[in-house]
Amino acid sequence: MSIDPAGLPIRSGEAAATEWEGLMAAAQQGDGLAYDRLLRAVMPFLRAIARRRFPNRADAEDAVQDTLMTLHALRHAYDPSRPLRPWLAALCERRCIDRMRWHHRHARGETALHDSVQAIAAPGMESAGERAILRQEIQARVAALPRAQRVALLLTKLEELPLVEASARSGMPVGALKIAVFRGIRSLRRQFLLTRAA
C-alpha cells in the first residue's frame, strides 16, 4: 500500500475501485480533499490505459491530462450508484482516440474546429506548456457560456457524441443542439479575438 503526499494510504485493486466511488461521491458534494485524493489515486490507472495506446510517453501523458480535464468538466454527470472504473476508462479511451485523430488530421494538414479556436487565440504557440495553459483557458471560457451552449459543446466536442445521442442526453432537439454549438464556438472566437485586440 502506497502513501499519497497528504500521508494517506492509496489502495489498489478492488478496494481502490470501491474507495474511488466514495471519493467521487464526496467530490460531487464539494469535498476538495476527496477530489484531490481521487485524482492522485486514478492517475496510474489512466496512465496504464494511455500507455497501451501510445508508445510515446508525451502523447500518453497529454491524453491523461485531457482525460483529467474532461473528468473535471463532467464530474457532475457521474452516477455514484455505478462503478467508477469503467466510466474513467471510457473517458480515457475517448481522449486517446481524440489525440490519435488529432495526429492523423495534422499529418494530413487538416485543422479541427477546436484547433482553429487555438489558432485564433494564440497563433504560433509551440510549447506543450503554452498549449496546456490555452486548453485551461478554453475550458474556463466554455464553463462561462450559457448552459445550452456549454452542454452542447461538452457533449459534441469533448465527448464527441453523435448529434442524436447528444440530443437525447441533453434533452435538446438536434436542430437546437446544432445552433447551440455554432453559437458557443462563435462566442469563443469572439472572446479570443477581443483578448488579442486588447
Q: Indicate the residue type of 53.
A: R
The reported pLDDT for the residue numbered 112 is: 47
Between residues 135 and 166, the one the model is more confident about: 166
What's the pTM?
0.49
Between residues 46 and 175, the one the model is more confident about: 46
Which of 91, 74, 83, 69 lies closest to 17 in space, CA to CA?
83
The reported pLDDT for the residue numbered 198 is: 52
Between residues 84 and 189, the one the model is more confident about: 84
Average pLDDT of the residues of the chain = 76
The reported pLDDT for the residue numbered 116 is: 42
105-126, pLDDT tens digit by residue? 655 554 444 544 444 444 444 4
C-alpha cell recorded at residue 113: 474546429
End-to-end CA distance of the chain: 52
Q: Indicate the residue type of 168.
A: A
